[in-house]
Amino acid sequence: MKLFFKIFIVLIIFFGANESKADSLLDSLNSAYLNNSKLNAERASMKASKEERREAVSEFLPSVTISGYVSEQENTNPGDDTNFRPSESSITVEQKIFQGFEGVANFKKKNYGFKLAEYKLKKMEQEILLEAAKAHTDLLLSKKKVNINLINIDLLERQVETDQNRLEKGEISLTDLAQSESSLAGAKAQLIAAQNDLVTSKANFEKIIGKSPPNNVQEIKKLKLNLPESLASAYQISNLENPKLQIALIEYEQSKMDVIIAGSELSPSATLSYKLAEQDDFSATVKDRTQQTVTATASWPLFSGGGNLFNLRKTQELKNQKELLLEDSKKTVETDVANAWSTYQSSKSVLDSIRSQVRAAEIANEGITLEYESGSNRTTLEVIQSRTILLNSRINLATSEKNFLVSQFNLLSAVGQLTARQLSLKK
């Protein structure tokens, strides 16, 4: 008894140490957030959009150009053998005065483009974190299924040994032993299937999380997720934060700017320029001189083959398209939120029911097994059936726990709050 107690203590310490080294769900989420290649690519795209926004400011600033030339002139006329080296250095400053509101519209469009890049990054972030949560919970579920099947095989092997002894004593028939052996063979087949699922889960984990799957996965106990309190609250949050909806809205605003930019091709434009030039050795009579030139230029394209008019009509139709897509996005997001909320509520109820089922199945299996081993009128088939029910209920419990957790992440994603900030991940 003392030896058994020491072994028990050693096992507790061993598994406790392993649990402390096990990867948690937040570890997996944080690794995916930092290392996923798709997410990093979207981050680079957002940085490029930031530079485009800065570039748009140049539309309102003057342009400054420095230029110059040096040439060689040789006169070979009779009586005039003079060589000149004319040169000029100049600086030109040009300022756009009016562009038919093209500059303002382009500046606003680039600002919208930066916001669009931010929401596209948020959309990708949500997708990767949701995939990471699924990959982690799939790996945990696969490990649980393997362990449950191993425990089941251990129980069935002991039952086969017991039935062999009872058969020798004449307490049961050969048919009863065959039922036990058949059940054991079926359990081994289920274990093989569970082990194959585990291999697949590990490969998917490495692909999404960006690192090798850990030997130990920490049991998910309780997560503090800031979920909406009601469906109405979920709708309100999604209207403000859902990235799909915000992307559609920004693209519509950009299409309005495109119409203004296209319209500027039919509008007059005006520029003002100033040039200061210094010329040396200009001619035989002019050795050096300085010129200052101020030029105001105005233009109005009256006809350019109809291309500018056709382009304006095209952008107007594209604006109508974006408006329709925005309306569709509103309906789609509303449907997604409703489905996510419904799935969250139903998976919670299913989980509570299956927990009760597991408790009842454990009590029933324990009672039937004790009665069978004590030589009562319980049959081998009844014992096998009770263990099958217990096995299935435990697997259903593990699956329901995974589905309930994923439904919470899916709800956060639907309203637009499945972000590293909301989950307090390391950045």
Q: Which domain holds residue 155?
A: 25-249+266-310+334-423
**Six token digits for residue 360:** 């009842």
Quick check: is 346 in a domain? yes
Q: What is the pLDDT along the chain (427 residues), one digit of tens a residue?
A: 333 333 344 344 334 434 445 578 999 999 999 988 889 999 999 888 888 877 777 777 888 889 887 877 666 666 555 667 778 888 988 888 877 777 788 888 889 999 999 999 999 999 999 999 999 999 999 999 999 999 999 988 988 988 898 888 887 888 888 988 999 999 999 999 999 999 999 999 999 998 888 888 888 877 788 899 999 999 999 999 999 999 999 999 999 999 988 888 788 888 888 888 887 766 656 667 788 888 888 888 877 777 778 888 899 999 999 999 999 999 999 999 999 999 999 999 999 999 999 999 999 999 988 888 787 778 888 888 998 999 999 999 999 999 999 999 999 999 999 999 998 887 6
Q: What is the pTM of this model?
A: 0.80
The total number of structural domains in the chain stands at 1
Structure tokens at 164: 């062999």
Q: Cα(301)–Cα(82) distance, rounded to whole angstroms?
A: 48
- Interatomic CA distance for residues 326 and 245, integer angstroms: 7
Residue 2 within any structural domain of the chain:
no
Question: Does residue 15 sit within a domain?
Answer: no
Sign of CA dihedral 96, 102, 105, 109: negative
What is the DSSP secondary structure assignment for residue 424, as one 8-state letter? T
Is residue 165, in this structure, part of any structural domain at all?
A: yes
> Is 93 inside a domain boundary?
yes
Q: What is the DSSP string of 38-106?
A: HHHHHHHHHHHHHHHHHHHGGGGS-EEEEEEEE--EE--BTTB--EE--EEEEEEEEEEEE-TTHHHHH
Pick from 408, 414, 415, 336: nearest CA to 133: 408
Distance CA 137, CA 224 (A): 16
Domain annotation covers residue 398: yes
Residue 293 lies in a domain: yes
Which residues does 86 contact at the CB level (< 8 Å), separation at least 6? 70, 71, 73, 279, 280, 281, 282, 283
CATH code for the domain in which residue 214 is found: 1.20.1600.10
Residue 125 located in a structural domain:
yes
Cα separation of 10 and 253, whole Å? 66
Place of tokens 């030029």: 295
